[in-house]
Amino acid sequence: MKKPYVIVNCAMTADGKLALPSGKQLRISNDEDIKRMFHLRNDCDAVLVGYGTILSDNPKLTVKKKYVEDPKNPIRVILDTHCRTDPKSLAVNDKAKTLIMTTKNCDKKYSDNVEIIKCSIDHERFVSLNEVLEKLYDYGIRKLLVEGGSTVIWNFLKHRLVDDMFVFIGPVVVGGECTPTLADGNGIEKEEHKINLEIKSVKIIGNGLLVHYKLIK
């Protein structure tokens, strides 16, 4: 299968949480890591999130001039099985091209910079990631940055579609058994199904730690 090079990037707390127990966005990265993230986003052809991230965080998914000189906004990709993205969401504004990958015929009216791409549905009733990646490759995307949320990250890991993963660990604890973690979803059923990672580097960034993983396929 032809697919883009897939990079997962996220920030989690010392207890592995991505947000507050309510699911509301929580700033975990420090300024140094935020700058690193924007440079990484600037270096990628596209940045991908799921509908849940659009709903909870309403991100722009662009590159800030504050952090990157002469920024280049990547194509924004939204995994939205039921095509529920609000046309007023910041991720579909006119600052960059947006692709909404869905399984439904979408009758919402978006601006001209938004393209709806219909994909098949997988056995778990999500948009098929294999088909998404094939269509993104055909679209000319060679380097894809996956930023979340936790179910999206889990699905990329579960299907062994990740090439690089960067995890910033902030020195805070949030707690909560239902708080979003780095990888949610259904998890594995047997020990032999575990997803093995290789640590490529560990770096102190300000008051936090950046770990670079490679997926062992």
What is the spatial distance between Cα 28 and Cα 19, in angstroms, rounded to a whole number? Answer: 8
Q: Is the pTM of this model over 0.85?
A: yes
- Give yes or no for residue 120 having a pLDDT over 90: yes
pLDDT at 185: 87
pLDDT at 205: 97
pLDDT at 18: 95
pLDDT at 23: 87
% of the chain at pLDDT higher than 70: 100
pLDDT at 43: 98
According to DSSP, residue 156 is labeled: H
pLDDT at 1: 83
pLDDT digits (tens, 9 = 90+) for 186-213: 898 899 999 999 999 999 999 999 999 9
pLDDT at 124: 85
- Give yes or no for residue 42 having a pLDDT over 90: yes
Q: Which two tokens stand for residue 45?
A: 């052809």
pLDDT at 24: 86
At the second CATH level, the architecture of 5-187 is 3-Layer(aba) Sandwich (3.40)
Query: What does residue 40 show for φ and ψ, rounded to 5 degrees?
Result: -65, -45
Q: Are 79 and 92 in contact (CB under 8 A)?
A: no
pLDDT at 104: 84
- 97-111 average pLDDT score: 92
According to DSSP, residue 193 is labeled: G
Helix H or strand E encompassing 110: none
Q: How buried is residue 211: exposed, middle or buried, by Cβ count under 10 Å (0-12/13-18/19+)?
A: middle
- 134-160 average pLDDT score: 96
E strands in 83-196: 98-102, 114-118, 143-148, 164-170
pLDDT at 202: 98
- 131-157 average pLDDT score: 97
pLDDT at 39: 98
Q: Is 119 helix (H, G, I), strand (E, B) or coil?
A: coil
- 30-42 average pLDDT score: 98
What is the spatial distance between Cα 118 and Cα 140, in angstroms, rounded to a whole number? Answer: 17
